[in-house]
Amino acid sequence: MKYPVTARRAATCAVAAAALLAAALPASAAGADAKIAPAPSLQVRADRIILQDLVQAGKRLLAVGERGAVLLSDDAGQTWQARFTATNRTLSGLAMADALHGVAVGHGGAVLTTADGGNSWQTVAADAAGKDSLLGVLHAGGQRYVAWGAFGLYLESDDGGASWTRRQPLGADFDRHISQVLASGPDWLLVGESGTLARSPDGGKTWQTLASPYPGSYFGALAAADGALLAFGMRGNIYRSADHGASWTKIDSGTSLALMRGSRLADGRLVLVGNAGLLAVSADNGSSFTLSKTARGKGLAQIVQTSGLHGGGLVAVGEAGVEQVSLAKPGAKGTP
């Protein structure tokens, strides 16, 4: 069956891509002790640029966003330095293998690599992507990366991002937008447009489509400390699975705002972020959520808890650039 491509769907893709991020893996990457040069003193107003993704690599935070921008922080997000890459396309996803090596992806099939902690970036000719937009990227161990995006685009690299091969994990006719690929050990979960759910039991080598309880689009996925999986997206929809995706339970999120991405904190709590500065926090592995909003009330695309930096604070990125985030005390109720 060939899925229809409509103007409305293309517009939806453009809006979603502007808010989606790459991966819900733990924020700190390996190689924290690697030596990297400190970022130069070219500081920027990090609240004046739209950012799409955020990761921690060693003691550095890296964020990517509009017009090919890369921002670096060596002080837990207090100050930022800019790296404007050779592309002016929006960068929507970022993954670091360690404190030095990583891959950024973006609109128009843009792929860039770094080998010095983000200080410099090299453009890769990823012909396999064509002109379709990449929405996220995942480091899958060693030299392997996986990237995904619009109209079923799914790429793999086994050489650190230098070259890419296009795959069709859900079949040749699949052309829904892929929002996120979540790696939780050997079990991977793929979520996307129009209720797309798929599971891989072998680290992305083979995939099987899952029956979706929801026909709308999922924007993100997250694994809880007890092994449960969450898939979430449009209109505040959250679904939870305790059996590797075989069945799903709808969770009352208490909001109709879109949920974009999330992170699991060191204490096991789950934090989902979304439109209008929404923060949805769960202290019971995703069975229930408490809501609050950031002071700015601008859309959020990703959140990470800094590891080993100034007490492990929370940093988010989105429509208002970078924000330092404080969560409501357990038991407090919000009214988003």
317: pLDDT strictly greater than 70: yes
Tell me which residue has tokens 């859900």. Answer: 170
Residue carrying structure tokens 């029956």: 211
Instruction: Look at residue 26 and tell me if it is in a domain.
Output: no
CA dihedral angle for residue 66, residue 195, residue 26, residue 315, rounded to 10 degrees = 40
Distance CA 263, CA 204 (A): 21
Q: Is residue 111 part of a domain?
A: yes
Residues 6 or more apart whose CB falls under 8 angstroms from that of 186 comprise: 201, 202, 203
Q: pLDDT of 261-301, one tens digit each? A: 999 999 999 999 999 999 999 999 999 999 999 999 999 99
Per-range mean pLDDT, top range of 10-14, 126-130, 183-187: 183-187
CA gap 134, 151 in Å, rounded: 10
- Tell me, yes or no, whether 291 lies in a domain: yes
| C-alpha of 267 from chain center | 21
Q: Residue 93 contacts by C-beta under 8 Å, 6 or more apart in sequence?
A: 20, 21, 22, 23, 52, 53, 64, 104, 105, 106, 134, 135, 136, 137, 147
Residue 11 within any structural domain of the chain? no
What would the mean pLDDT of 42-51 be, rounded to a whole number?
75
Among candidate residues 6, 73, 30, the one with its CA nearest the CA of residue 323:
73
Task: List the helix and strand counts (H, then E) for the chain.
Answer: 1, 28
CB 133, CB 150: distance < 8 Å: yes
Nearest CA to 238 out of 265, 211, 256 is that of: 256
| Averaged pLDDT, 19-36 | 36
For 185, 280, 304, 305, the CA distances from 313, given in Å and listed in that order, are 26, 17, 8, 6
Q: pLDDT at position 127, please?
A: 86
Residue 89: CB partners within 8 Å, gap ≥ 6? 67, 68, 106, 107, 108, 110
The pLDDT of residue 48 is: 81
Asked if the model's pLDDT at residue 333 lies above 90, the reply is no
For the chain, what percentages of helix, strand and coil (3-state, to nearest 5) are there?
A: 10, 40, 50
Inside any domain, residue 264: yes
Tokens matching residue 1: 């069956």
CATH number at residue 61: 2.120.10.80
Radius of gyration of the chain (CA): 18
Sort strands 290-293 and 278-282 into parallel, antiparallel or unpaired.
antiparallel
Instruction: Tell me whether residue 100 is exposed, middle or buried, using C-beta atoms within 10 angstroms of its C-beta: 0 to 12, 13 to 18, 19 or more.
Output: buried
The whole-angstrom separation of Cα 84 and Cα 253 is 38
Joined tokens for residue 81: 């330095």
What does the pLDDT average to over 81-93?
Answer: 92
Q: Band of the pLDDT at 20, cuts 50, 70, 90?
A: very low
Domain span including residue 167: 42-324
The reply to whether 331 falls in a domain is no
Q: Which residues contact 195 (CB under 8 A, 6 or more apart)?
A: 212, 214, 215, 216, 217, 218
Number of structural domains in the chain: 1
H or E element at residue 9: helix 7-17
- Report percent pLDDT > 70 for the chain: 83
3-class SS letters over 238-288 = EEEECCCCCCCEEECCCCCCCEEEEEECCCCCEEEEEHHHEEEEECCCCCC
User: Residue 10's pLDDT is what?
Assistant: 41
In a domain, 18, yes or no: no
Is residue 76, in this structure, part of any structural domain at all?
yes
pLDDT digits (tens, 9 = 90+) for 131-152: 899 999 999 999 999 999 999 9
